Homo-oligomer: A and B are copies of this chain.
């Protein structure tokens, strides 16, 4: 049996997947892109040795990354998606009728092309007329905007390598400046099982920039540590409250999941003060 063993230097468990067929394997100017087929997950996209999406379970991550902030915002019109070259997050954003414009900022255009070819149900929203694709650095894009964006969604690779600039105070400050009054940003922030210290670091960096910061989780089988976290910075609105009640079709996200996914207050306090007890 041929196996792909994930190459994540920060994960204390390595995940091994059966490989039925390798469909694509090439170095872009930014990273090595690979697509292979697995009997359970279907097609799997790997960047620099780390699984990014699988056909079977990508919706868990994309729904949870997009819908919490979009439901907490009363009526998001202009949205920026940074990274997420597969298009899954953009697909979810477009489900909200209030959304008029999506700036889709992916630095590596080869990821977009690979997704269009091998993951058509994920890339499905890329041709929507509300979407403007820009192959550039997300940090540069947000610096160019001024108080006209309702929601920024950072859908990067892990907090290592070239994605590291997407987790700095400087970057979050630029985001704050590009947001409207009710604006919010959400970013992945790794696993509570494997990278608790990174989760806290992202929370504290956001707290130094935004008056309201929060944390929610989702169970994602294909991301190391799988008790995956998402960090929100808000210019004022409490992201636990659902204000945008427009109906969207989802498989995992729902108003109940929205509420239950935030860390209980006592656990959040223990996390931030380093007293989780593990």
Q: Which residue of B lies closest to A250 (CB)?
A: B277
Q: Are A57 and B264 in contact (CB under 8 A)?
A: no
Contact with B along A224-236 (1 / 0, CB 8 A): 0111000000000
- Residues of B within 8 Å of A192, CB to CB, are 219
Interface size class of chain A, counting residues whose CB lies under 8 Å from the partner chain? 35 or more
Q: Are B222 and A13 in contact (CB under 8 A)?
A: yes
Which segment of A14-22, A74-82, A86-94, A140-148 sits at the interface? A14-22
Considering only residues 18-51 of chain A, those with a C-beta below 8 Å from chain B are 18, 38-41
Q: Tell yes or no: A276 within 8 A of B by CB.
A: yes
Q: Determine the distance from Cα of A3 to Cα of B219 in the docked complex, in whole angstroms.
A: 25
- Residues of B within 8 Å of A39, CB to CB, are 12
Contact with B along A244-278 (1 / 0, CB 8 A): 00000001101011001000111100000000111
By CB atoms of chain B within 10 A, which of A3, A13, A57, A221 has the most? A13
Q: Determine the distance from Cα of A233 to Cα of B62 in the docked complex, in whole angstroms.
A: 34
A277 to chain B, nearest CB (A): 4
Q: Tell yes or no: A243 within 8 A of B by CB.
A: no
A68 to chain B, nearest CB (A): 15
A161 to chain B, nearest CB (A): 22
Q: Which residue of B lies closest to A249 (CB)?
A: B277
Q: Determine the distance from Cα of A18 to Cα of B12 in the docked complex, in whole angstroms.
A: 8
A46 to chain B, nearest CB (A): 14
A226 to chain B, nearest CB (A): 4
A119 to chain B, nearest CB (A): 15
Q: Can you list 17 A-B contacts with CB-CB less than 8 angstroms, sorted by A residue number?
A: A3-B14, A5-B16, A12-B38, A12-B40, A13-B15, A14-B16, A57-B193, A57-B278, A191-B221, A193-B219, A219-B226, A221-B226, A221-B227, A226-B227, A251-B277, A251-B278, A256-B265
The 4 closest A-B pairs by CB, nearest first: A12-B40, A256-B264, A219-B227, A193-B221
Contacts A13-B221, A16-B16, A219-B226 known; 12 new A-B pairs at CB < 8 A = A12-B17, A12-B18, A12-B38, A12-B39, A57-B193, A194-B221, A219-B227, A226-B226, A251-B277, A251-B278, A257-B264, A260-B264
List the interface of chain A (C-beta within 8 A of B): 3, 5, 12-18, 38-41, 56-57, 59, 191-194, 217, 219, 221-222, 225-227, 251-252, 254, 256-257, 260, 264-267, 276-278
